[in-house]
Each structure stands twice: as structure tokens, then as C-alpha cells.
Amino acid sequence: MIETASFLLPAFLVAVCLVGIHVYFGIQVLARQVIFVDLALAQIAALGATVAFMLGHSAQSPMTYGYSLGFTLLAAVLLAFTRSWATRVPQEALIGVIYVVAAAAAILLIDRAPQGAEHLKQILTGNILTSGWNEITIIVPLYAMTGLLHWLLRRQLTGSGELFWEFVFYASFGVVVTSSVAIAGVLLVFSFLIVPAAIGVMFTSSPAGQLAIGWITGTLTSAAGLAVSFAFDLPTGAAMVCAFGGALAVAGLVYPFLRGDRHRALRGAIVTIRWFAAALLAGSALQLAAAPRADQPLLDVIETAVPSLRSLYFSRSELATFLEAGETAERHRAAAERLNDLEKRNRTEGEALDDVSIGRISSFLKSYGEMRKGEQFVMGEVRARARERIRWGASLGLLTLALLVAPIAWRSLRMRGPH
């Protein structure tokens, strides 16, 4: 427990550093409406590293870093121009083109290099869980210097839109993004950049307030994502990205309550939830009536949560068959696992099994697999038949429930009736 937590501490500190600089850039990026510029810059840096790799430099060498930086600066020049070019074509379109061309060019180059594809993947899919103190010692001074530079030049960088200052903005952003993408991966860096900044922009228009809200929500969300990844044994990066998505959703739900008439907001929320529930119920009713043997997502979820609900519509013998098939399938699985374990232990312990015994084990394993599939088929069939039997009654019930849940003003409908 404590060991696992010690795994998460460096990851959390890295996340705090990344949130610190990316929220600032995120606010800028939102203001300039160049949402995907981080992807384009990261991809260009990866292309630079790929070129260095092709020329025979190793992945961690200063030359490779130099190539990445050079390509990023070139891209910054290009991006600085896109603002003035983007008269009839939106700037985002040009950025998108830079991104896809850089990605495709890297693939074409890497196709000719040994171990190339994996190298490219490693540049763009960092894993925040496996980052450590050595990364923190690199990014802290780098981000501090970038932050200082932007604070000193805040007037020129945020307002003017002059070519040179645009270049400085994109160049410094490129340096930051290149390092952060290698640590945390494209998806997570994008979340760090956009989500906290968007929440900040949503709630206040003062730059300092936006930064503060962004930093707080970013840090809390990162902590929540890490905690979820730890508690539910999930891949860390993906869990954090989903946590950021959740944070944005929560902010969107909270927003009308903080900014405006609370009663109206509450009423609106309830109406939305009721419509949503009604649509879900009506959809499930139609699905059950039209195709009772197909997957029934709503019923399946409810049954998994409360297995005893099955006894409501299974006959006694069906229920017995269902449960017995489930137990048998589990027994076959356990037997297969035991055989696998036996073979695995035997690789190093005791006298080695010969090929004939191994062949016997694997044919046993195959049969267990088939028998297990058979039992699962029985379970599916029993359930499908039971659902077929109740299809009309149950879907009528679901439909009635949907009508009851739906926020339809029955009284006013009746008033408008024949009178």
C-alpha cells in the first residue's frame, strides 16, 4: 500500500509541474483559438528526433535533442506566419495539416530505420507513472525559466500579435510541449493544457483568476486521477485523462448554479435528467421488443449489479440450469488454470515434462476451453429464452415507466384536449 503510494508521489509531482506551465499556455491557446497546436509541435519535435535517429544519433544524445529543437523552432516560424495567412482558411486547419504531415513524414522515414517504429512511439507516448526524480530536476528549471520569460514579456506576448512575438510564443511553447509529451504522452498533455484552462475561462475573465482556478482544478483532478488509477488498478495516464474529462463535465454542471438563477438551473437539470432516463428506458423497451435475443445493455447492467433480479423472470428450472452452468464454467476455468500453473512450475522445478506430456496438457486445456464456452453458451441461451418469453410484457412495462419518468406536462395536455 505504502509502496504503491511511493510509486505515485513522483508521478503526482510531475503532474503538478506539468499543470503549472500548461494551464498558463492553455489559457493563451484558448484565447488564440489554436487548440491543437500542442499536437502539431509535439509531432514536429518527434519528426526532428526521427531525422536525428536516421542519421545515426542515439535516442538520448544531445544531437537528437538539437534536431528536435531545430525542427520545433522551424515549426514555430511556420506557426507564427499561419496567423496572417489564415484569412480565408481557419488557422486550425493549417495547424491540423502541419500535424498530419509531420506524423506521416515520420512514419515514412521510420519505415527505413531499424527499431524505428518503437522509437517514434516512445517519443509520443510517455507514461507518467514511470517518470521519476531525474525528470523533475530537468523540467522544474525549464518550466520556471519559460514562466519567467513569459511574465517579463507578458505585454508583448499576449497582446501584440506581431510576427516576432508570435514566434517567441510558439518556440517556447514547443520546447515545453516536447519535454512534457515525452514524459506524459500526447493525450495527457492535451488534457493538462485544455481542461483546467477551459474551466478557469468558464468561471472568470481575470487572467490571474483563470490561472488560479486552472491550477487548483488541475492539481486536484490529477490527484483524483492518480487515486482512481491506484484504487481500481487502472493504467495511470488513461485514468487521469478520463478524470480531466469528468472534471470538465462537473464544471459544466456546476456552472449554471453559480452563474444565474439557481432555481431555474435546478429545474433545468431535473428536466434534462428525466428526459435522459426516459430515453434510456424507452430505448431499452424497443430493443427488448425488437430483438430479445440481442444484448440488452440496461437489463444486463442491472442484472450484473443485482443478480437476484433474474429470479423475477427465470422459471425455477431455468434458474437452476443458469446457476449450474455458471458454476461448471468456473470449475473448468479453475481446472485449466491449475494445469497451466503445473506446467509453469515444472519449467524450473522437478523433472522436466517431455513433449508428449506437454501435448497432453495442451489438449486438456483446449477441451476445458471448449467446455467452458459450451457452458457459457447454455447461460446465454437460457437467458435469451427467458427474455423472449417476457419480451412484450416487460417492454410494455419499461415503456410505461419511460412515460412516467418523462417530464411531460400531462395536465396541460388534457386541458388542451377536445374542449
338 binds other proteins (CB under 8 A): no
- Closer to other proteins at the Cβ: 127 or 321? 127
Nearest distance, CB of residue 384 and other proteins, angstroms: 17
126 lies in the binding site for other proteins (CB under 8 A): yes
* 295 lies in the site for other proteins, by CB under 8 A: no
Determine, following the binding rule CB under 8 A, whether residue 115 of this chain makes contact with other proteins. Answer: yes
**Site size for other proteins (CB under 8 A):** 48
Q: Which is nearer to other proteins, 27 or 240 (CB)?
A: 240
The DSSP string of 150-218 is: HHHTHHIIIII--HHHHHHHHHHHHHHHHHHHHHH-HHHHHHHHHHHHHHHHHH--SHHHHHHHHHHHH
Segment holding 2, helix H or strand E: helix 2-32
Q: How far apart are CA 240 and CA 244, in angstroms?
A: 6
Q: Which of residues 4-23 bind other proteins (CB under 8 A)?
A: 4, 7-8, 11
Query: Which residue from 41, 129, 386, 399 is in contact with other proteins, where contact means CB under 8 A?
Result: 129
233 binds other proteins (CB under 8 A): yes
Cα 374 to chain centroid, rounded: 35
244 near other proteins, judged by CB under 8 A: no
Query: What is the greatest pairwise CA distance in the chain?
Result: 93
The DSSP code sequence of 324-357 is HHHHHHHHHHHHHHHHHHHHHHHTTSSSPP-HHH
The amino acid at residue 249 is: A
- Of 200 and 237, which has the nearer Cβ to other proteins? 237
Shortest distance, position 223 Cβ to other proteins, whole Å: 13
Distance of CA 385 to the CA centre of its chain: 37
List the interface residues with other proteins, window 171-230 (CB under 8 A).
226, 229-230
Asked if 235 interacts with other proteins (CB under 8 A), we say yes
Closest alpha carbon to 214 in 194, 226, 199:
199
Nearer to other proteins, 157 or 336 (CB): 336
One residue of 259, 293, 373, 414 binding other proteins per CB under 8 A: 373
Question: Which range binds other proteins by CB under 8 A, 28-36, 137-145, 343-351, 407-415?
Answer: 343-351
For other proteins, which residue of 88, 155, 263, 347 counts as binding (CB under 8 A)? 347
Residue 2 contacts by C-beta under 8 Å, 6 or more apart in sequence?
none
Q: Helix, strand, coil proportions of the chain in percent (round to 5)?
A: 85, 0, 15
Least distance between other proteins and beta carbon 325 (Å)? 13
Indicate which single residue of 44, 218, 368, 382 sits in contact with other proteins (rule: CB under 8 A). Answer: 368
Tell me phi and psi for residue 24, to 5 degrees: -60, -50
Note every long-range contact of 1-10, with CB atoms under 8 Å and residues 24 or more positions apart, other chains counting: 4/230, 5/230, 7/129, 8/129, 8/226, 8/230, 10/131, 10/132, 10/133, 10/135, 10/136
| Closest CB 137 distance from other proteins, rounded Å | 15
- 65 forms part of the interface with other proteins (CB under 8 A): no
Per-residue string for binding with other proteins, 75-104, x by CB under 8 A?
------------------------------
Q: CB 55 → other proteins: shortest distance, Å?
A: 17
Residue 114 binds to other proteins (criterion: CB under 8 A): yes
Closer residue to other proteins in complex, CB, 118/208: 118
Compute the distance between CA of residue 348 and CA of residue 213 in angstroms, rounded to an integer: 57
How crowded is the C-beta side of 264, counted as CA atoms within 13 Å?
Answer: 6
* Cell digits of residue 303: 442484472
Q: Which is nearer to other proteins, 62 or 417 (CB)?
A: 62
Minimum distance between the CB of residue 38 and other proteins, rounded to whole angstroms? Answer: 20
CB of 117 to other proteins, least distance (A): 7
Phi, psi of 56 (to 5 degrees): 100, 10
Q: Is 245 helix (H, G, I), strand (E, B) or coil?
A: helix
Interface with other proteins (CB under 8 A), residue from 56, 62, 87, 118: 118
Contact 78, 85 (CB under 8 A): no
How near is the Cβ of 339 to other proteins at its closest, in Å?
9
Cell of 60: 538520448
Residues forming contacts to other proteins in the complex (CB under 8 A) are 3-4, 7-8, 11, 59, 114-118, 121-122, 126-127, 129-130, 132, 226, 229-230, 233-238, 333, 336, 340, 343-344, 347-348, 352, 355-356, 358-359, 362, 365-366, 368-370, 372-373, 376
